[in-house]
Amino acid sequence: MGLTRRVSPAELRRLYERQRLVPAEIGERFGVSGRTVRAWLRHLGIALRPQPERRRRHQPPSPAELGRRYVDGGLSIGQLAARYGVSATTVRRWLQDAGVSRRMPGGRSQAPSREELCQLYQAEGLSSTQIGERYGVSQGTAHNWLRAAGVPLRPPGQPTRARTGRP
């Protein structure tokens, strides 16, 4: 069968039988087609559910939430897909239906360079909240920028060297 090393039979059974995901949804998680997942299920002797149950529609988040996460938060279509457990195609459709303008492929919100982020976070000791304030974005967006740039993050709650001016 060639069941990929990325998914064990137990995991496949859990996703299909317990979580009741459809083969296409399982396939999206592992980079294969729904047809491949169905072949894996048949090989393992797992009975396929009736055809009408195979397609499951996900309720999209509100247009305001989509805009907040995609435009204001700077999340990518892939990050949104992972957050909501759907495909990137579904997220693209949601954005279009919500009237949210898409960024150019590979485009990000106005993130500073990795060097700038390292300077601010490591050398100056600013928090992600302070970096966000400096660039007019949320703490979450600044945190996403740091992670995406591969800047090693401090443990949560560790004091920063920079002062916020608050008591």
In angstroms, the CA 81 to CA 19 distance is 18
The pLDDT mean for the chain works out to: 79
Hey, where are the domains in the chain?
9-53, 57-109, 110-167
pLDDT in tens, 77-123: 877 877 777 888 888 888 888 888 877 655 455 678 889 999 999 89
Q: What is the pLDDT of residue 96?
A: 87
142 versus 166: which is more confidently predicted? 142
**pTM, entire model:** 0.35
Residue 45 has pLDDT above 90, yes or no: yes
Look at residue 74 and tell me whether its pLDDT is greater than 90. no
Identify the CATH class of 57-109.
mainly alpha
Buried b (16+ CB within 10 A) or exposed e, 86-124: bbeebbeebbeebebeeeeeeeebebbeeeebbebbeee
Does residue 53 surpass a pLDDT of 50? no
Q: Say what the pLDDT of residue 18 is.
A: 87
What is the model's pLDDT at position 119? 92
* Most distant pair of Cα atoms in the chain: their distance: 64
Find the mean pLDDT for residues 110-137: 83
- Residue 66: what pLDDT? 87
